[in-house]
Amino acid sequence: PVLVVDFGAQYAQLIARRVREARVYSEIVPHTWSVEQMLARRPSAVILSGGPASVYAEGAPSVDRALFEAGVPVLGICYGFQAMARALGGEVARTGTREYGGTHVTVDAPGTLLTGSPVEQSVWMSHGDSVQGAPEGFRVLATSAGSPVAAFEDADRSLYGMQWHPEVKHSSLGQRALENFLYLGAGLSPTWTPGNVVADQVEAIREQVGDARVICGLSGGVDSAVAAALVQRAVGDQLTCVFVDHGLLRAGEVEQVERDFVASTGVRLVTVDARDRFLAALAGQTDPEDKRKTIGREFIRVFEQAARDVVAESGAHGEEVRFLVQGTLYPDVVESGGGEGAANIKSHHNVGGLPDDLQFELVEPLRRLFKDEVRAVGLELGLPEAIVWRQPFPGPGLGIRIIGEVTHERLEVLRAADAIARTELTAAGLDRDIWQCPVVLLADIRSVGVQGDGRTYGHPVVLRPVSSEDAMTADWTRVPYDVLARISTRITNEVPEVNRVVLDVTSKPPGTIEWE
């Protein structure tokens, strides 16, 4: 792998993704790793990321000179560039000139790293210290107003560095510089393709699972669908998928799993119709936390029973069920500490804690993948676009989008309104601009309207279109007025219980994406 050494800023994941976009496999490791630990991973190259610290700050992480003498190509970025310069005897100074944001650099000698770069380019910088003199043997490639040495290289030793951030989109030729490092500097080939990922994972799953049987809970979401499809590709009918229909899904979602997913994968699927059970459990509940707890608890019980049934049925026919598939992604692995197995706490949490007598080993075929790679793998496996590009949808489903008690009738009203909003947003080509668009039924509120000659006394629905990168923060999406008008007209015409459509124009924070 290409190791991306994380110096503690938010940039390491972005760098790792950009390296993957160049179709080279990358992994993030903490800067606390020793050079021996890094070399034990047999890296094909190392990238030192940016970081928040000044190389002069007390306790600022440094880089062991031995890394540069191991014969592994290294690229230092921002803080990593300065740490590299310092370790190799260059001059780093705190000049007091800060460069932050869009900055101009002049490329004096493109060398390997900046091959193909124009002389002047706009880049993204964020630093207080700067490299004043390159270490011995290095050639200065570029300069900026605040950085007499803005990029350098020693191509003979395959050591490269740059002050600006090539991983952010504001650095116009950033991806080109990263690719120059990977392809020309480190001699790597773009082999990390969806086809190869599938082939590798299929082999790994076969090795892990052997003849045993595997169970997988499907949520209707992208991750569990792609994970299941990979396992199916690897071990075929040894896999049984369980899909709990809790009745809180949107129009068409059950069919999407039961028909489209099964048709495209050949998965053996057990659907549990638990709609009545969930409605009964939710009766009389209006508090959001109570509703969430009830739905979560019932979900575990139903899934647990279905798992027992699958285990019992398979016990009668040979191999036991020993494995449970989890759609854990790489960012979860990194965020829970990085190492192999580190994501287990979180992934167990995802299943909701199965009881002790149902002990499964986990199969996590997505633990090396970023979300965009999961989608690419899904397409490679032949999953329908509607599943691969599905927007996030919360586990408690429409249960937390009915403000008030959840009833069968209210679910029908919300499903109808939601289907119209989704159809119109899709028709307007907005699916990729919108992270998700909850439609919320204010079931306990009524307002007066007029339709035809008559007075109506109906309920409002709220449209909550948001744009986001990761759901941690979000902005309300500026959906064109004509699209909003069509949605509003159609909902009030076609859903008799709704006589008002309102738009939520709150960002997150302070508002959450969901209303409950």
21, 31, 78, 127: the catalytic one is 78
Residue 130 known to bind ligand: no
| Spatial distance between the Cα atoms of 138 and 132, rounded to a whole number of angstroms | 13
| Cβ atoms of residues 420 and 483 within 8 Å | no
| Spatial distance between the Cα atoms of 376 and 262, rounded to a whole number of angstroms | 19
- Taking alpha carbons only, the member of 458, 447, 446, 454 closest to residue 496 is 458
Closest approach, Cβ 237 to ligand XMP, in A, equals 29
Closest approach, Cβ 79 to ligand XMP, in A, equals 31
The label of the residue with tokens 């969430």 reads: 292
Residue 224 known to bind ligand: yes
| Spatial distance between the Cα atoms of 434 and 76, rounded to a whole number of angstroms | 35
Closest approach, Cβ 341 to ligand XMP, in A, equals 23
| Cβ atoms of residues 4 and 19 within 8 Å | yes
Active-site residue flag, 167: yes
Residue 235 or 387 with smaller CB distance to ligand XMP = 387
Q: Which H helix or E strand runs over 499? A: strand 498-503
The full length of the chain comes to: 516
| Cβ atoms of residues 334 and 13 within 8 Å | yes
Q: Which H helix or E strand runs over 3? A: strand 2-6
Closest approach, Cβ 221 to ligand XMP, in A, equals 8
Closest approach, Cβ 331 to ligand XMP, in A, equals 14
Residue 220 known to bind ligand: yes
| Cβ atoms of residues 22 and 64 within 8 Å | no
Residue 266 or 288 with smaller CB distance to ligand XMP = 288
Tell me which DSSP letter residue 474 carries.
B
Residue 136 or 469 with smaller CB distance to ligand XMP = 469
Residue 26 known to bind ligand: no
By CB under 6 A, name the binding residues for ligand XMP. Answer: 292, 392, 394-396, 436, 471, 508, 512-514
| Spatial distance between the Cα atoms of 110 and 285, rounded to a whole number of angstroms | 66
Active-site residue flag, 313: no
Residue 177 or 244 with smaller CB distance to ligand XMP = 244
Give the β-pairing of 45-48 and 2-6.
parallel
Active-site residue flag, 437: no
Residue 226 or 513 with smaller CB distance to ligand XMP = 513
Residue 225 known to bind ligand: yes
Torsion of CA 375, 171, 121, 106, to 10 degrees: -130
167, 179, 253, 380: the catalytic one is 167
**For residue 44, how many other CB atoms are within 10 A of its CB?**
17
| Spatial distance between the Cα atoms of 83 and 74, rounded to a whole number of angstroms | 12
Residue 93 known to bind ligand: no
How far is C-alpha 210 from the chain's CA centre?
Answer: 30
Closest approach, Cβ 435 to ligand XMP, in A, equals 7
Residue 258 or 504 with smaller CB distance to ligand XMP = 504
Burial label, 279 (beta-carbon count in 10 A; 0-12, 13-18, 19+): middle
21, 127, 153, 165: the catalytic one is 165
Binding residues: 219-225
Binding-site positions for ATP read: 219-225
User: Which of the residues are catalytic?
Assistant: 78, 165, 167
